[in-house]
Each structure stands twice: as structure tokens, then as C-alpha cells.
Chains A and B, each alone.
Chain A
Amino acid sequence: MADQRNVTLAVTGAGGTRIARFVLESLVKDDRVGRVDLMVSAAGRKVIAHETGRNGVGDAVELLLGAPAQKVVAWDPEDLAGGPTSGSYPSWGMLVVPCALGVVGRVAQGTANTLIERAADVTLKERRPLLLCVRETPFNLIHLRNMTQVTEAGATVYPMIPTFYNAPSSVDHIYEEFTARLLGFIGLPQSDYYTYSGSKTRAHRDRVER
């Protein structure tokens, strides 16, 4: 497909790596996506290991998905010479899911210590979409200042905050809904997600009928 896009996905050391798995799964099966460039930070590996019970070593794709995926290219986050280090490397834009606040701070300062931070820096300089799905609460002043700064530079701060008007029924329902909203935001609308329409929520119906 001629108009397929390449998406860069980074997984860093914050909670919520299951959402990264859902995002990667969706990108892999989406015909609108040609290639996914994946980077998992060392801390990201530890969190994946903790949240899945897997051993945090080995191939990043298998670590995240539990199986290989042809469409995904895994880059060593310590390899500052990897493809995403250059603006000439074709990429539609970059998602960081989940995004540690330390990463936001380094992106805000332009401190490209790893390939993940360098790729984010490049994404901004090339004026491509950069989405940072932070997972942190409460926010301190430094977090808010850095998030404001990256937003001024063109990034989108997209905290991993669920919606409740769709009356989610399970934790996975929350993750799936967040994933669908996130992908819709970057122009890959999904077919099955909740669209708020005013008043006919499940909770509302349940109360009226009880």
C-alpha cells in the first residue's frame, strides 16, 4: 500500500505497559501502518517484566507481544546511531507509551541520552506528531513545567487517564478504550469505541430502570 505510514513506538519505565501491548497489537494488524519502529528502554523492560510476570530479557517484540511480528523493527535504545536518530529516516511520528516523567524532562531539555530521547528530539525538529502518554499522579511543578514546555514545542501530552462516561466494565475495557482513543487521535480511527452522544450512558439506563 502506497500510503502506509511508519510509526515509531517507545516504551519507557512507567506503569501501564499493557496499554503499550494493546497499541502495538493494533498497529501490527492495521493495514494503514507499514512498519513500526519499536524501542523499549531498560526501565521499560523491568516494568513489562513486573506487569506480565515474564522475564524481562530477549527480543523486545516478543517481550511485549509474546510472539514475533514481521512488521516491527526493534531498535536498541542505547544505539544512538539507530535509524530513528535521523530525520531522514521515514517516520510519520512517534508515540511514547507509557512515558516516564524523566523522559518528558529529558525531551523538554533536548537531552538525547538514548535513542528514545533522540528520536523524540528528531520528531519535534521534523515537526512530526509526538505523543507522550504519561503515567504519573500527582504531578509536581517540574512535571507540569516540562509538559508545558514540550507542548509549546509541538508535542501532545496524552496522560493515561480513563473515561468513565462509557461506564467501563473491566480494567481491560479501560485499556482498550484508551488505546482506541489514542489511535483515533493520530488519524487511525478504530471501529469499536465509545462515542459520547449526550445522555444515553449505561449507568444512566441502569439507574432509571432499577
Chain B
Amino acid sequence: MARLIVGMTGASGAGLGVRVLEALRELPDMETHLVMSRWARTTIELETPYTAAEVAKLADVTYRPGDQAAAISSGSFQTDGMVIVPCSMKTVAAIRAGYADTLVGRAADVVLKERRRLLLVPRETPLSEVHLDNLLALARMGVGILPLMPAFYNNPTTIDDILDHLVARVLDQFDLPAPRAHRWSGLADARSPAAGCADDLSAATAAGARPSSQPRPARRGSPNSTR
């Protein structure tokens, strides 16, 4: 059983957070623990066709952002890490400072202290010196920084294409199979009509869907534990 914490905070791009939750739901043996900040709920309502209550149902367990006594507040509750998508600059600052005044910040703090994988998906442009300094400090601690930035090598023709690709890149960071991944494999392949290649979910599931019990490739590993 893999167990992932999903945080959603008040940056634009709530639709990607919803997509990530949907993708995780499709994986066998995956348990998701969701915490939405107050402003994530607002962003969900402003940017997606869903209500916050509908999004909450996509996760196995959902916590209130003020519930500092939740399971994910303690390192004794074992997880494979946490993704915050979208991640506001306020949340970045809070994690960097260790200022865990909401459950999002506390859960991230715990993930860091337990040397588990923490991935942030910020959506902000341009980036101020404050933003960059905070992101840099977190990257130094092994935190993954995956800005919500479309790729172009997959020739996106719809917004769904852009979001699908980003979901795959998020799953990649946790060594989870990404059936809708469109992977670059050189210009020659890109020019051919059947460009890109998707992961085979059935094949990948056996090997990769249980990151807690499988040895991971050294390249990605769990960077929080390797410093």
C-alpha cells in the first residue's frame, strides 16, 4: 500500500490538483490523504467545475486545514511523501520557515523531518527574489520544485493535454506509473506520427505502484534522506 498526502493551497491551477487526485485514484493500492487550505477551496470554486466538497470525495481521507491533530501531523503516521498542488508562495514561505500554523504546513514539516519526499507545484510568474530565495532554500533541503509550467514537446492542442502532461510529471516524481505520459525520446521520434510513448499501466503497476516496498532507482530515490 502506497500512501500519499496531497495538499492544495490558494494558487491558481486548482484544476491540476483535481487531476492529480483523479490520477492517484486510478492507481491500485494507493491511499490519498487530502488537505485543502481555506483559499484552495476558493480557487477550486473559481477555476474548476467542481465544488470543494466534490474534490474532497476524490481522496480516501480528507482533513480540515485547521485540524493540527490529524494523523498526518505526526511522523509516526507513515506516508510515502506529500505533493502540494497547486502550491501558493505563502505556503512555500511557511514551509521554508517551518511555520506550521495550518495542517498543510505541519504535514509538509513532518514530511521534511522524516526525510520523505516533498514535492511543490508552485504557480506564480514572474518570481520575486523572495520567491526564488525560498524555493532555492527548499530545493537545498531536497524538496522537489515542479512549477506548473506547460511543456511544448508533447504538442499540446488542448488544455487537457497540458494538464495530463503535468500530472504525468508529478507522478514521475514519486516513481508512480503515468499511463498518460508523453515522453520525449529525441527529435527523430518526435517527427514520426506515433510520437512519444505512454507508460503501460498494467506492466508498471507491478513494478512501481508501491514505492514504500520497492527499492527505488538511485537517481531519484528519496532526496530528503540523502543529504
Q: Which residues of A contact B (CB under 8 A)?
A: 15-18, 46-47, 50-51, 131, 135-141, 144-145, 147-148, 151-152, 156-165, 167-171, 174, 185, 199, 201, 203-204, 206-207, 210
Contact = CB atoms under 8 A, between A and B. Distances in A.
A135 B149 contact: yes
Contacts of B144: 138
B147 A151 contact: no
A156 B127 CA distance: 7
B136 interface: yes
A139 B51 CA distance: 31
Given A135-B152, A161-B124, A165-B47, A147 B132 contact: yes
Given A137-B169, A157-B126, A174 B12 contact: no
Contact of A151 (B124, B132, B140, B162): B132
A164 B140 contact: no
B150 A207 contact: no
5 contacts: A16-B152, A18-B152, A135-B149, A136-B149, A144-B132
B161 interface: yes
A174 B159 contact: yes
Contact of A171 (B14, B157, B173): B157
B225 interface: no
Given A137-B149, A164-B12, A203-B49, 15 more contacts: A137-B169, A139-B135, A139-B147, A141-B139, A144-B135, A148-B136, A151-B127, A158-B125, A159-B126, A160-B125, A161-B149, A164-B14, A164-B123, A171-B158, A203-B47
A46 B187 contact: yes
A140 B47 contact: no
Interface centre among B51, B129, B132 (most CB of A within 10 A): B132
Contact of A162 (B43, B135, B150): B150
Contacts of A131: 126
Contacts of B190: 50
Nearest to A163: B12
B132 A148 contact: yes
A140 B223 CA distance: 12
Contacts of B123: 161, 164
A207 B51 contact: yes
B129 A151 contact: yes
Nearest to B190: A50
Contacts of A169: 159
A148 B139 contact: no
Contacts of A151: 127-129, 132
A5 to B, nearest CB: 20
A174 B162 contact: yes
A204 B45 contact: yes
A140 B146 CA distance: 9
Interface in B112-159: 123-129, 132-133, 135-136, 139-140, 144-153, 155-159
A199 B46 CA distance: 7
Given A138-B144, A138-B169, A204-B46, A185 B126 contact: yes
